[in-house]
Structures are given as C-alpha cells and as structure tokens.
Structure 1
Amino acid sequence: MSAPCIVGPRDIPPTMSVSGMFERYTELGMRGYVARTEDSVPLTVAEHLELLTLGESIARIVRHPVDVHHALQAGATWPQVAHALEINEQDARSAYRRWADGQRALHEHCGIGLDAAEHAEAIARAEQTGEA
C-alpha cells in the first residue's frame, strides 16, 4: 500500500500524530538536502508540497494561541509575549483579541471556549498598559 498523497492540510490522515508528521517532515527534509548536495534523486513536486504542508501543519499545531493566554495568565507582560513571538506588541495584542473573540463565539455556539466573564478578562488583559 502506498503512502497517501499529501499536498494540502486536508490530505493529512486524521490518524497521523504530530510526531508522525515531524518524522515524515524530517525524512523529506533530509532527502531534499542530500539531493541538493549529492548526486541523488531529487524530491518530486508532490514531495515538496508534502514537505510544505507538513511544516505548516506542525507549526499551526504547536503555535497555538492559547499559549499566549496561558503565558499572560501566568504573569507574562505584553513586551515579553511580543518578543517571544518576534512580532510587535500591537500585533500580539490584536491576535490575542481575535483569539478571545473566537473563543467567546465558540462558547456561545457550543459551550466551550471563553464565557462572558473570561472574555471580558481577556479583552481587559489585551488592553493593559504600563507594563515593564
């Protein structure tokens, strides 16, 4: 049985774990590197697309916005969050507000996410000033 053709995020089998994705990503990355530096078979277009897809999917999974929420709840400042994300503070705050609004909508729709009080706290946190 051949491996599935993964050329977009929806092509990743739901049973494939993040570690499985990373293993395949590493395998393709090494094969691509070797092919560029030695006389060996290069990756196919489909394999390059799979590499891109897996890399982006892994990033989306491990770069979850709730991590910003948890860091702020633990006492991180906006300058620290922005530095960790390598973005400016305003963009970090805006992304956090969008996440909080999405979590509020999720709660209204199906009962998970941020309730009204938690959403209000998150929005207030996004607007905090005077941090060191």
Structure 2
Amino acid sequence: MSTPEYDRWKALTIRRPDDIPTATPLAWHVEKFTEHNERLMNNALPADFEYDVQRGNAGDALAAIALRESIHQMVEQQRGSRVHEAIELGATWNEVAAALNVTPDDARALLRGWADGQHNLHRGYIERASDNPLGLSPEQHGAVLALTELNDDERTHRS
C-alpha cells in the first residue's frame, strides 16, 4: 500500500545527500539505491543482450553516490545508540566489539563519545528552555557511562 510520502519519495530526483528529506526511512534509501544500482550494473551487459533492460546513466550514478553517502551517514549516526541498546539488552563488551570489529576499549570509547554528544545535545535544549529536551540528561548520561565500566564479559543485570 502506497502513501503520499512514499509516492513523493519514489518520484524524487536525488543528486546530493541534501536532496533526501530528513527522517526518510533507511529501507526507502536502500530501495532507491538498489534501483539506480541495478540500472548501472546493466551497463556491463552486452549490447545485444537478449532481454530489454534499462541501462544506467550519469543521473543514476550520481543518485547511487548520494544515496550511498546518506545511508552511510544514517548508519554511522546510529552506531552509538545501537551499542547502548546491545549492552543494555545483555550483550557483553566482547560481543559488541566483535560486532564492530574493534577492541572492547574502542567499543567503550564509541559509547562514551555518543553519550557525551547526547548529553551536550540535552544541555543545549535546556539552555533554550525547551519543554522536551532531546539527548541524555545528566542522570541518563551517568547511567550510560556506568555501562562502560562493565568487564569485557559482564552482562547487565537486566539481561
């Protein structure tokens, strides 16, 4: 079932990551990237290929580049929150580190950096007297930092 937002997305021409509306679902990014990428891959088929296929053009290449960058940015922005979730849901630092292909200390540093950024975001909202501040309050920030003190194979008590 199609929605007006999805229909607008499908019709949208992408040439830069900034062309992508904020909060566009990752699945929509991947779907559009796949369409452009398939046309580009069809360029490698012989000219006399037995089936009629759409060939890619410069617009497809630019869209694929822009969408790839947007996907990359989205996934990177979610790294810290996903590490936080994994630890809170019972993963160990060794397991998180393996998933990230880094050391446990590097995984902890990633979570600390994310928590600090979220805490700074919260403070900025508080300074502007926002009723619904985003980010991590001082208490939440402290709770996240406490997770970094778990041993490499220790699980949270919630797990």
Q: TM-score, normalised by structure 2?
A: 0.68
> Structure 1 residues 12-21 or 116-125, which shifts more?
12-21
Q: Provide closer, same or farther for how the CA distance between residues 25 and 80 of structure 1 changes in structure 2, counting only shifts above 3 A.
A: same
Q: Provide closer, same or farther for how the CA distance between residues 105 and 15 of structure 1 changes in structure 2, counting only shifts above 3 A.
A: closer
Q: How far apart, in 2, do the equivalents of 1:129 and 1:15 lie?
A: 36
Aligned residues between the structures: 129
User: 5 Å matches for 1:23-102?
Assistant: 23-39=31-47, 41-44=55-58, 46-62=59-75, 64=78, 65-102=80-117
Q: 1:21 maps to what in 2? A: 29
What is the aligned-residue RMSD (CA, Å)?
2.4
Higher Rg: 2
User: How far 1:16 moved relative to its partner?
Assistant: 4.8
Q: Deviations over 1:18-69 (max 9, x none)?
A: 333222111111111111233374431x422321221232243355121111
1:128 partner letter: L
Unaligned runs of 5+ in 2: 1-10, 48-53, 126-132, 155-159
Contact 2:40 2:60 in 1 (8 A): no
Contact 1:28 1:51 in 2 (8 A): yes
Contact 2:92 2:152 in 1 (8 A): no
User: How far 1:17 moved relative to its partner?
Assistant: 4.1
Q: How far apart, in 1, do the equivalents of 2:122 and 2:24 lie?
A: 28
> Residue 76 of structure 1: SS of its match in structure 2?
coil
Larger helix proportion, structure 1 or 2?
1
Q: Deviations over 1:4-25 (max 9, x none)?
A: 5533221214485433322211
